[in-house]
Each structure stands twice: as structure tokens, then as C-alpha cells.
């Protein structure tokens, strides 16, 4: 039997290899730990890693399988967790010295569901300070002199560097899709309310989403099957039928999907190579060019008002203690200056923008195609890049995917963002599958 290089496998492939006894959970976890030891000294994706504990989890899963116990869809697959999600067995420090050594008593819901699916929680990945803009130490594996994006910097970098096949992150503005684009991996920000945020650091109940990074679209479906669903501890979640995301990620579309090419009012912020690449892709797909509503440029200040006010309410006490970055302190001050009238108007506008988008999905397209970020990851580690191409879709709660389809002349990734109708995450995956198959068949 040929030896399998486990670190080259997708999560779907690895789970299948373990299920068919071609490898063990311990084999796979050990391979990932070896990879982490080899490359994380430079990439610095992990905030907390305990190899002995990770291997102990894997051995327990192997014993369970050997005894004929029930195995889940992620049995033996290592998953990394952004360090804003509570873990009972690892510290959760949220990128700030104010929480150094904090040990939560229980897992966040998403972590618990991953364990129930058989995942090995291999470690905690670096988050920017309070999941906002001030960067942590993580570097982009595609070019160590460039940012990996933020705030889910460590999770995106860990997947891109081949350290883990899956990682969990979060998005309040552009914290999933932007780092996925910069690091050249698949990323998903599900519909608002699809995945529970219980046990995660709360920035904004209106804007916070839980998502994942992966090496393939099939892996995105696999992890969504495990983590999606209603949770009484998160009132924004809602009942959902038995997950079928894995099926959607491989399903053959009964007819070619239609796409709307939406530049957004921020198109002038995109780099020339990104604009040209996406315009060429849109032409190849026969996408219909559509504009957002005439007043859509108000969405960006609306998101800023909601985010600043909510973070001031939820996290302002940390700023009052000091030992925070100027970026964070300034945001808290800004949030405290938002009036009730401004806040309520921003919430109203968010609902109006979301409602206005339904015409696109009902009459013109199965999905919107746009940029994930202005271009490739910027040079330097002092900032995390601009989330401007994510803000509208976060504000409106629509599901979105980063597809690593484009690159600049140096081979650095440029992300393509696919956006679907709210609550239609499975359809978005089917549409993405059709898009990837179309491009593959076109050579």
C-alpha cells in the first residue's frame, strides 16, 4: 500500500482515508504537527499549540473507531480554531494581553459541534486584537513580507501553509473573505444566523458571522454540515433542515447558473489587475452587469456606525483599562459618539439594503460575482488590508464564498467573491461547484 502524504490531502480525502483504514487519526495529526513544527516558526499562525494533547485526542478517536464506535464526518481531521472561540482545553486570549492565560470553562458551540463530528482540535490560531484591525504576528505564507489579512489571520495562514486542512474564523466586516483572498484559500462567510456564535467573542450581534477556511469547496461543505444549525444559546440562529452542504458542494447543476457582475460603488479602490481579471471572468461566464441601488454607498458608513457602537458597548471596558492599540481605542471612542438616532437609522438601512438585493436573485442571477478584496495582499505587516469589498455583504447578512481563481503576474492570489441569497447557502455551494466545473472544462 503506497504511503499517503497526509498534509497534501483535503479534509474530505483525509476523512475518507481514515474511514477506510488507509491512515489513522494519529497518523494525520502527527503529519500536521510535523508540518506546523517545520513552517510555523516563520508563518506564526498559531497562538496556542500542544502536540501531546492533540495526539491524545487523535488516539482516543482511533480507539473509538477500533472498538466499533460511531464515527463522525470529520473523524480524525485536525481543525484549527481562531483564538476568539472558547475552548475548554486551550487558552482563549482574543489577541490581547488583557486576556492572557484566560481559560474558559466550556467550549464554544462551534467547537463542541466539531468535536461531536470527530475533529481533532489541534490548536488556537492568531486573531488580531479583539478581532479588529490591529495585526498580530502572523505572516502570509504566499509571501512572508505581506499581510495575511485579518482578523482571522492565523486561521487563513494555517490552511494556506498546509498546516491544517480546515480552520474556523469569524467575520464582522471582512475578516473571513479578505484573508482567504490574500492567502489563496477557500473561505466561507455563511448567512447570518446559520452558525452559532455562542462562546465566541461578541463584537456586534448584527454583524458577527462564524465561517471556515479550507482547501476545496468540498471541504467547505463538509465543515458546514458539522457546524450549522440552531442553537438556543444564540438567538439569531434559526431552525434548519438536515444539513446537505457536502452534497451541494459536489452536486451537478441541472442547468447552467446565471451570474450578476456587481462592481459596487467601491470599484475605484480595486487594483488594475484585480479589476481586469474579474471583468474578464465575468465576460467568460456571461454574467449580467448590475449595479447596487443608487444609495448603496451609504452601506459602508452604516456598517461602521453599527460596528463602532456595538463594539463600544461590548468591549469598551477593555479600552478603559488601557493596554490596547490606538486603532482599537479610537474605534471605541467613535462608537461612544454614535447617537441612538444614527444607530437605529443604520440598522434600518441594513434591512432596506438586504431587501433591495432580493430582486437580483429573484429575476436576474443565481449568485453575484464580485471581488473579495481590492487586489493581492499588501506588502508589510503593520496593517491587514481593506475590507471594503466585504462590507456590503456582511451588513446585509448574505452568504459569500472566496474562490481562489485569479492571480497577478507574480502568482499572488486575487480572490473572487461569490455572493448568494440569504438563507440559500446550499444553492450558493451548488452554484460555486458549477462555476468551478465550467472553468475546469474550459481549460
For residues 302 and 348, what is the distance between their CA atoms, to the nearest angstrom? 9
- Fold classification of 251-296+340-441 is Amidase signature (AS) enzymes (3.90.1300)
Q: Which pLDDT does position 241 carry in this prediction?
A: 82
Q: Which pLDDT does position 95 carry in this prediction?
A: 98
SS3 category, 383: coil
Q: Which pLDDT does position 194 carry in this prediction?
A: 97
Q: Which pLDDT does position 294 carry in this prediction?
A: 84
Q: Which pLDDT does position 2 carry in this prediction?
A: 52
Tell me 361's DSSP state.
I
How many separate helices (H) and strands (E) can be counted in the chain?
A: 14, 11
Q: Confirm whether pTM is higher than 0.85.
A: yes
Q: Which pLDDT does position 85 carry in this prediction?
A: 99
* Beta strands 78-82; 166-171: pairing state: parallel
**Residues in the chain with pLDDT values less than 50:** 1
Q: Point out the residues that are catalytic.
A: 82, 151, 175
Domain ranges of the chain: 6-249, 251-296+340-441, 299-336
Residues forming a β-bridge with 413:
407
6-249 and 251-296+340-441 in the same fold:
yes
User: Please, which contacts does 328-331 make with residues 24 or more away whose CB atoms are closer than 8 Å?
Assistant: 328/129, 328/130, 328/132, 328/133, 328/134, 331/132, 331/307
Burial (CB count within 10 angstroms: exposed 0-12, middle 13-18, buried 19+), residue 52: exposed
Q: Which pLDDT does position 443 carry in this prediction?
A: 57
Q: Which pLDDT does position 1 carry in this prediction?
A: 38
| Residue among 261, 224, 291 at smallest CA distance from 368 | 261
Q: Which pLDDT does position 136 carry in this prediction?
A: 97
What architecture does CATH give domain 6-249? Alpha-Beta Complex (3.90)
For residues 92 and 88, what is the distance between their CA atoms, to the nearest angstrom? 9
| Omega of the bond leading into 151 within 30 degrees of 0 (cis) | yes
Handedness of CA 233, 244, 170, 260 (dihedral sign): negative
Q: Which pLDDT does position 242 carry in this prediction?
A: 77
% of the chain at pLDDT higher than 90: 95
* Each residue's pLDDT tens digit, 20-46: 999 999 999 999 999 999 999 999 999
Amino acid at each position: 500500500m503506497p504511503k499517503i502524504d497526509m498534509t497534501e490531502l483535503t479534509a474530505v480525502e483525509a476523512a475518507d482515508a481514515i474511514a477506510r483504514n488507509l491512515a489513522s487519526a494519529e497518523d494525520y495529526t502527527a503529519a500536521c504537527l510535523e508540518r506546523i513544527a517545520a513552517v510555523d516558526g516563520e508563518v506564526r499562525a498559531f497562538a496556542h499549540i500542544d502536540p501531546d494533547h492533540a495526539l491524545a485526542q487523535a488516539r482516543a478517536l482511533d480507539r473509538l473507531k477500533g472498538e466499533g464506535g460511531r464515527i463522525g464526518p470529520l473523524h480524525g481531521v485536525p481543525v484549527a480554531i481562531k483564538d476568539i472561540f472558547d475552548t475548554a482545553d486551550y487558552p482563549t486570549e482574543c489577541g490581547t494581553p488583557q486576556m492572557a492565560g484566560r481559560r474558559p470553562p466550556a467550549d464554544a458551540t462551534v467547537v463542541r459541534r466539531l468535536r461531536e463530528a470527530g475533529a481533532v482540535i489541534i490548536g488556537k490560531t492568531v486573531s488580531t486584537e479583539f478581532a479588529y484591525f490591529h495585526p498580530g504576528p502572523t505572516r502570509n505564507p504566499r509571501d512572508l513580507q505581506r499581510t495575511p489579512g485579518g482578523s482571522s489571520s492565523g486561521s487563513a495562514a494555517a490552511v494556506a501553509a498546509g498546516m491544517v486542512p480546515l480552520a474556523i474564523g469569524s467575520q464582522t466586516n471582512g475578516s473571513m473573505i479578505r484573508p482567504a483572498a490574500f492567502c489563496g484559500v477557500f473561505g466561507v462567510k455563511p448567512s447570518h444566523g446559520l452558525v452559532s456564535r455562542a462562546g465566541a467573542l461578541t463584537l456586534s450581534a448584527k454583524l458577527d458571522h462564524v465561517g471556515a477556511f479550507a482547501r476545496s469547496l468540498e471541504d467547505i461543505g463538509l465543515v458546514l454540515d458539522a457546524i450549522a444549525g440552531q442553537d438556543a444559546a444564540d438567538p439569531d440562529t434559526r431552525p434548519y433542515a438536515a444539513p446537505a452542504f457536502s452534497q451541494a458542494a459536489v452536486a451537478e447543476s441541472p442547468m447552467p447558473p446565471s451570474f450578476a457582475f456587481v462592481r459596487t460603488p467601491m470599484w475605484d479602490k480595486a487594483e488594475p489587475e484585480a479589476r481586469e481579471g474579474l471583468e474578464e471572468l465575468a465576460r467568460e461566464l456571461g454574467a449580467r452587469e448590475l449595479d447596487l441601488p443608487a444609495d448603496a454607498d451609504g452601506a459602508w458608513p452604516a456598517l461602521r456606525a453599527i460596528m463602532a457602537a456595538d463594539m463600544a458597548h461590548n468591549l469598551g471596558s477593555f479600552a478603559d483599562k488601557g493596554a490596547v492599540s490606538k486603532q482599537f481605542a479610537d474605534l471605541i471612542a467613535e462608537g461612544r459618539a454614535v447617537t441612538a438616532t444614527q444607530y437605529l437609522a443604520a440598522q434600518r438601512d441594513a434591512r432596506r439594503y438586504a431587501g433591495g438585493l432580493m430582486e437580483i436573485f429573484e429575476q436576474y442571477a443565481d449568485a453575484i460575482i464580485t471581488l473579495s478584496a481590492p487586489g493581492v495582499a499588501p506588502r508589510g505587516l503593520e496593517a491587514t488590508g481593506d475590507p471594503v469589498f466585504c462590507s456590503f455583504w456582511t451588513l446585509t447578512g448574505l452568504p459569500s464564498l472566496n474562490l481562489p481563481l485569479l492571480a497577478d503576474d507574480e502568482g499572488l492570489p486575487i480572490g473572487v467573491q461569490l455572493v448568494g441569497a440569504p438563507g440559500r447557502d446550499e444553492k450558493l455551494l451548488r452554484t460555486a461547484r458549477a462555476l468551478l466545473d465550467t472553468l475546469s472544462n474550459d481549460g
